[in-house]
Amino acid sequence: MSRSQLRSYAILDRRLQRRRSTSLGLYLAAVLAASTASARADDFSALFDRDTIVSVGGFVGRGPRFQGSKQTGLWGLPYLSFRKVDEPRDWWSPDDGLDVTLISQGALQAGAVLDFREGRHNNDDRRLAGLPRLPVTVGIGLFGEVWPIADTLRLRAEVTQGVRAHDGLIAKLGADLVARVGRFTLSAGPRFVVGDAAAMRLDFDVPVGTALVNPILTPYRASAGPRSAGATTALSYDWSDAWQTLGYVRYDRLIASASDSPIVRHVGSANEFTVAVGAIYSFRIAP
């Protein structure tokens, strides 16, 4: 596999209107990082080649307003990538973090990754009254992926630490089976997420002070360990060398300490669904 690709995204549901300065700053920082970093050291020259293929596009979707939310909100996902003209279009999953490939050895790739983390506000659900407000933030870390069966089976892991010390560490594990039939590409596979104590408590703890003002929520302290298990599937269609459309569905089931939280049991739901559709346009930069 040879990839020279940058991706950037930001949550754009109605929470963004309340947190514009925070989330917009994070988004601009992500775009700046993407535009100034190489997707792979030996492929950085693709940016300056006489002929380079640039892909731009975007996605719109609907997903949980916060971790464990029963209600959903809109989000947006801008897309940007580039590759050399002699490189095939690589497959990727819409739920991958923004990554920069620094090491590529055959079927193995590794590098840096940036992942956005949902926030939470009392306006998301009035029954959250008394809970601390969580701003939209990002996690920064490393990713690694390997293709045991070329172009058919991918294994990927992302480990990120929140930019604030108390944001905690989150590890995301996944596997994808990829099948190409004519112009269609279908993928599906499991997802598993683990969080350390800080990350779990941030999203699922109920402080004693909250319980005193909100009788719906009882005091609770989450613990490190499994966070969610689920699966995802995506379908894309190549209308031409220039145009591609995609559809995406992901299901996550909060488990263990996360599902036991009163936030999930009394306000939200352990079942989380995310759906999205999008389009990508690729064009060749000629001298």
Q: What is the largest CA-CA distance in the chain?
A: 67
- Average the pLDDT over 151-161 and give the result: 97
Distance CA 163, CA 66 (A): 18
Q: How many residues does the chain have?
A: 287
- Amino acid identity for residue 254 in this structure: L
- Average the pLDDT over 207-221 and give the result: 92
Distance CA 94, CA 189 (A): 13
Instruction: Calculate the alpha carbon distances from 163 to 72, 95, 135, 137, 248 in Å.
Output: 25, 20, 12, 7, 28
What is the overall mean pLDDT for the chain?
83
Distance CA 179, CA 238 (A): 14
Question: 41 or 59: which carries more pLDDT confidence?
Answer: 59
Tell me: the pLDDT tens digits for 174-187?
999 999 999 999 99
pLDDT at 11: 37
Distance CA 201, CA 211 (A): 15
> Is residue 142 packed enough to be buried (19+ CB in 10 Å), middle (13-18) or exposed (0-12)?
middle
- Other residues' Cβ atoms within 10 Å of the Cβ of residue 277: 12
- Amino acid identity for residue 140 in this structure: I
pLDDT interval class at 5 (50, 70, 90): very low
pTM of the model: 0.81
pLDDT > 90: percent of the chain: 58
Distance CA 123, CA 243 (A): 39
pLDDT at 98: 86
pLDDT at 3 over 50: no
Distance CA 116, CA 97 (A): 8
- Contact (CB, 8 A) for 68 and 261: yes
Question: 10 or 211: which carries more pLDDT confidence?
Answer: 211
pLDDT at 47: 55
pLDDT at 155 over 90: yes
Write down the H helix ranges in the chain: 15-18, 20-36, 197-204, 208-213, 256-259, 262
Tell me: the pLDDT tens digits for 44-72?
455 556 678 888 999 899 999 999 999 89
Distance CA 274, CA 74 (A): 10
3-class SS at 52?
A: strand
pLDDT at 26 over 70: no
Task: Please tell me which of 39-43, 67-71, 119-123 the model is most confident about, judged by mean pLDDT.
Answer: 67-71
pLDDT at 125: 85
Tell me: the pLDDT tens digits for 122-154?
888 889 999 999 988 999 999 999 999 999 999
pLDDT at 89: 77
94: tokens are 């819409």
Instruction: Return all residues near 281 (Cβ < 8 A) that are at least 6 apart.
Output: 55, 56, 57, 242, 243, 244
Range scoring the smallest mean pLDDT among 12-16, 29-33, 181-185: 12-16
Looking only at the bridges linking them, the beta strands covering 52-64 and 225-238 are unpaired
pLDDT interval class at 19 (50, 70, 90): very low
